[in-house]
A = this chain, B = another copy of it.
């Protein structure tokens, strides 16, 4: 059976009849003449079009009934361009690129219909020719997952891989990553590998490489420029800074959040400017920011995921907290309202959780600003019931930190100490 993912009804019949598969280079005579690669379709699409990717990079839909003639020029395998020979220059710094999947690594999807990452070093040099002028990039595929499917076990595997490279001659490590949970991964690596001697840079793209507005190449190039030119350690996320192609932001891995579903500048540093702004060859540092001062590298690679993130809201049933206690959770990170509050209907459940020995930390669903639990009676009551305010840490980062702190502590007291210690710039001054 031919590979015709997503095609159905008339269009499926038409393609089968003409013996054409996804990935084939084809020529179509319709109102005009088109040459391009047959693309897969979404299951939910109509059945009266086929989709072609033109050499320019644009995808077009062509109505079946307008097609006068269709002709296969070469089949899927052959239409993949020959791998270019990788240029190396031993004078250039070495960079390691680890791919975990995501939009940035899904270039080939649309040619073959398969979800395999395309990020070999050769692909890279093809996509972004400038790279071979500034660095020797080794590339390695870790996973091929959209980031919504990445789990703590993937964080651990990534951290272990990087930890093994502590004595390598790489100038920096770049991780190609889906954008959905990139800030969760960057937070984990920030804690687990705090003090790692070279920068670890996560990079993604909001639009895939086959779209004219793709940010894959610019973001990747900026990440490599940053790794090559800036002497720092720490974990960063490198993505578009604004809606132009001019500036790329480099965010601290613990202070960044995906704040827009689709914009290229979706990632924002919370409560500050980004750590660096990369503007072609000019890299500007956020002067107000202290840099990572951890001198010693002591990896802490354990994790315990028995942590719940509870977003409080009017009507929240405290029985949900009882269920968490019952299920053996060891810590709860609250996303409270305002300065760090939850309703007084929750007090009994909180008291019980505290008595059972759970760590209870408070963050704010406002996202921006700082918890301050001494201003109002509610906050003071909650502190007396055992809730610890967690400064201005971002709720998602607090969750990841709690999983990490729990995994690397002997007791809840030890964990609490870790939670209050500024390990990787997760609290601002």
Residue positions of A touching B, CB distance < 8 A: 42-44, 115, 146-152, 154-155, 179-181, 184-185, 258-263, 266, 305, 307-309, 311-315, 317, 319-320, 323-324, 327, 335-345, 364-372, 374, 376-378, 380, 383-384, 396, 399, 403
Contacts and interface: CB of A to CB of B under 8 A. Distances in A.
Contact of A314 (B155, B258, B342, B377): B155
Given A154-B314, A179-B338, A258-B338, 15 more contacts: A44-B374, A44-B383, A146-B378, A149-B344, A150-B343, A155-B314, A259-B366, A259-B367, A261-B370, A262-B369, A263-B368, A305-B315, A311-B335, A313-B399, A323-B327
Contacts of A366: 258-261, 266
For the complex of A and B, 3 pairs with smallest distance between CB atoms: A261-B369, A180-B337, A148-B341
Contacts of A323: 320, 323, 327
Contact of A368 (B147, B260, B324, B341): B260
Contact of A184 (B149, B314, B339, B367): B314
B262 A372 contact: yes
A261 B340 CA distance: 8
A314 B152 contact: yes
Contacts of A371: 261
Contacts of A338: 148, 179-180, 258, 261
Nearest to A308: B320
A258 to B, nearest CB: 5
A319 B305 CA distance: 13
Given A308-B320, A315-B151, A258 B378 contact: no
